[in-house]
């Protein structure tokens, strides 16, 4: 039984792009996970919206198929009751023609009675954000509602500023939720807790004690069916300026005055403002061999499927500490790892393994915290070695972890904006990335199943990348 304080008020949730890939893989399964956890409102409706015609029953079957493929399975939760609250509004939705959405919303609100809160979720390509936002305003659906924008929120400073202008012409900033699901991961949130609640690390979180920070998200998968999307983004827009920059902000932020939503997000965005603009002297781009033979990819494509960057944070705490960011497709292993590498003691012990004090956060799945330390190897001699202890975040406690999307959906329903990006931080992001978004060099080829182009190793010198060393 969920804590009543965590149960949102009655809600109508409008899912734009409800028959698309993002809704299919992530949003609908996350919503069902909330139902299993008892974290949905006592009364709610999910209204799918799209261009095609689809009956309520057909949409319910699509949702069931999504759950069968991506889980949780319908049999694992309250599917029979859940499906009765799903409906579909076809015919598209724009400023001139709302399709059937207004009629379906009116019917849902009449069934529910009172004034349920309205949430708009845009599981659509970023190019559609502006027109959908304008349509929401044109048809009187913005007042007192909330809107969720998927990433990327813009593809450059100019497109960000235009989209931000449209959003604020329709909504107040307090109504806007720009989602980056890496911020909803259990281990990402534990970075804050471990830093600020544990004296062991609070006093050592600076350039006196830390050699470098590595944020590494290698993927073993190729672009598969997402080739057309990937051709329009590449690794820089898809991962670096979104997930990796935001996680770097979590690691680097100053202690907040409190743990209220605005206080946390203010400090995260403030430190992003200290990121030094990137140039190609600190960036390596790669493309896995065979990418250009993928259906939907141009034979001379210069789209990067790999990016590694050495980022500098220009403030007193982090002066001289490189933040090493890396992500790529078709790599040797799959991880979502933050590694904080501590400096060795100046007067170390004889035979001490170098670079062995590492605090790691595995962000994937339910999350883990790992701590590697120098210890004595058992036996009669003073032989030093390295040992690692792991704290599982999802299985080591009585309360199970929520997947990142479920956590963030619940925050939207509750009105908690602490784990969502703000316009000031995003403006800084585009300033930092501007120098590597224009005339990009030819990406370096790398073999599938490798750790990317060999040239990326130079970014970590005089050290090495922790993963794959």
Active site residue 335: no
- 3-state SS track over the chain: CCCHHHCCCCEEEEEECCCCHHHHHHHHHHHHHHHHHCCCCCCEEEEEECCCCCCHHHHHHHHHHHHHHHCCCHHHCCHHHHHCCEEEECCCCCCCCCCCHHHHHHHHHHHHCCCCEEEEEECCCHHHHHHHHHHHHHCCCCCCCEEEECCCCCCCHHHHHHHHHHHHHHCCHHHEEECCHHHHCHHHHHHHHHHHHCHHHHCCCCCCCEEEEEEEEECCCCCHHHHHHHHHHHHHHHHHHHHHHHHHHHHHCCCCCCCCHHHHHHHHHHHHCCECCCCHHHEEEEEECCHHHCCCCCCCCCCCCEEEEEEEECCHHHCCCEEEEEEECCECCCCCEEEEEECCCCCCCCCCCCCCCEEEEECCCCCEEEEEEEEECCCCCCCEEEEEEEEECCCCCCCCCCCHHHHHHHHHHHCCCCCCECHHHHHHHHHHHHHHCCCCCCCEEECCCECCCHHHHHHHCCCCCCCCC
List the catalytic residue out of 24, 120, 181, 243: 243
* Residues forming the active site: 243
């Amino acid at each position: 039984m969920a804590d009543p304080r965590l149960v949102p008020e009655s809600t109508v949730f409008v899912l734009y792009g409800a028959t698309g890939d993002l809704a299919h893989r992530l949003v609908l399964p996350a919503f069902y996970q909330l139902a299993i956890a008892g974290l949905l409102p006592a009364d709610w409706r999910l209204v799918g919206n799209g261009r095609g015609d689809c009956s309520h029953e057909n949409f319910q079957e699509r949702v069931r198929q999504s759950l069968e493929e991506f889980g949780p399975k319908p049999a694992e939760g309250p599917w029979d009751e859940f499906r009765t609250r799903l409906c579909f509004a076809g015919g598209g939705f724009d400023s001139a023609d709302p399709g059937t959405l207004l009629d379906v919303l009116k019917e849902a609100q009449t069934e529910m009675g009172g004034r349920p809160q309205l949430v708009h979720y845009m599981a659509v390509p970023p190019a559609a954000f502006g027109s959908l936002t304008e349509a929401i305003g044109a048809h009187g659906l913005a007042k007192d509602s909330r809107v969720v924008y998927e990433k990327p929120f813009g593809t450059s400073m100019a497109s960000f500023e235009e989209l931000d202008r449209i959003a604020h012409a329709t909504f107040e900033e307090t109504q806007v939720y720009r989602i980056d699901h890496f911020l909803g991961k259990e281990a990402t949130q534990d970075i804050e807790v471990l830093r600020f609640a544990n004296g062991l690390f609070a006093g050592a979180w600076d350039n006196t004690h830390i050699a470098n920070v590595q944020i590494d998200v290698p993927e073993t998968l190729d672009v598969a069916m997402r080739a057309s999307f990937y051709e329009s983004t590449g690794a820089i827009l898809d991962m670096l300026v979104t997930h990796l920059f935001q996680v770097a902000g979590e690691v680097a932020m100053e202690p907040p005055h409190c743990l209220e939503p605005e206080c946390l997000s203010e400090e995260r965005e403030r430190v992003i403002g200290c990121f030094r603009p990137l140039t190609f002297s600190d960036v390596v781009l790669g493309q896995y061999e065979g990418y250009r033979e993928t259906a939907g990819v141009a034979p001379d494509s210069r789209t990067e499927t790999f990016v590694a960057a050495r980022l500098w944070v220009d403030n007193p705490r982090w002066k001289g500490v490189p933040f090493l960011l890396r992500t790529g497709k078709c790599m040797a292993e799959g991880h979502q790892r933050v590694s904080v590498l501590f400096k060795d003691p100046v007067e170390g012990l004889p035979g001490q393994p170098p670079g062995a004090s590492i605090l790691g956060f595995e962000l994937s799945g339910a999350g883990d915290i790992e701590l590697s330390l120098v210890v004595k190897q058992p036996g009669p001699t003073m032989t030093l070695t390295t040992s690692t202890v792991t704290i599982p975040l999802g299985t080591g406690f009585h309360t199970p972890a929520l997947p990142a999307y479920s956590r963030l959906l619940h925050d939207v329903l509750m009105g908690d904006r602490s784990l969502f990006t703000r316009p000031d931080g995003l403006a800084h992001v585009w300033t930092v990335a501007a120098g590597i978004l224009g005339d990009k060099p030819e990406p370096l080829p790398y073999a599938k199943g490798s750790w990317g182009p060999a040239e990326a190793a130079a970014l970590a010198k005089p050290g090495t990348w922790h993963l794959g060393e």
